Amino acid sequence: MSLKFEQGVCNKDLAKRIKELGVKQDSLWAWERFNTGEDDLSLQMGSKNQSENEYYSAFTVAELGELLEHYTSYIHFMPNWKYHSWKVQLENKEIARTYTEADARAKMLIYLLEEGYVKQKRTNKQTEKKKKKKTSEE
């Protein structure tokens, strides 16, 4: 079985939700819709035109691992290829089942943020506050 590159990053819907939750859009890859009339988002290497285009960071497995910190130990592998292959569980509560590790990690991050288990360190709002504070101190 061959894997597509898209399986190494979180899917479009999860990327959108992660952005809505305020996670800083700082990834090597992005789901992006260009102003070309295309209906679908396409996977691109990080864009410099984030303000001009619909843009969502397509976090990789490694990037999501950094965001999740020690919570990655709660993502369990299900070796049954006929069904979903990744299970996300926290404190004996099943959160999700996915086909890819990237989506499993993304769903775990979303759950932790929505339920208040973790306060996101890499949010756009926090980054802006730090910049303003630093500027005012100078």
Over residues 4-33, the pLDDT tens digits come to: 777 889 999 999 999 999 999 999 999 988
- Angle made by CA atoms 93, 103, 123, in degrees to the nearest 5: 90
Give how many domains the chain has, as a whole number: 1
- Residue 132, in any domain of the structure: no
Angle between helices 12-20 and 101-114 (to 10 degrees): 20
Phi, psi of 133 (to 5 degrees): -65, -45
Over residues 53-93, the pLDDT tens digits come to: 788 999 999 999 999 988 877 777 665 666 667 888 887 88
Mean pLDDT of 124-129: 48
- Residue 134, in any domain of the structure: no
Q: Which residue has the higher pLDDT, 129 or 45?
A: 45
The C-alpha atoms of residue 53 and residue 34 are separated, in whole angstroms, by: 5
Which residue range is the domain that position 49 belongs to?
A: 7-122
Per-residue DSSP letter, 36: T
Per-residue DSSP letter, 133: H
- Residue 81, in any domain of the structure: yes
- Residue 2, in any domain of the structure: no
What pLDDT score does 97 carry?
A: 87
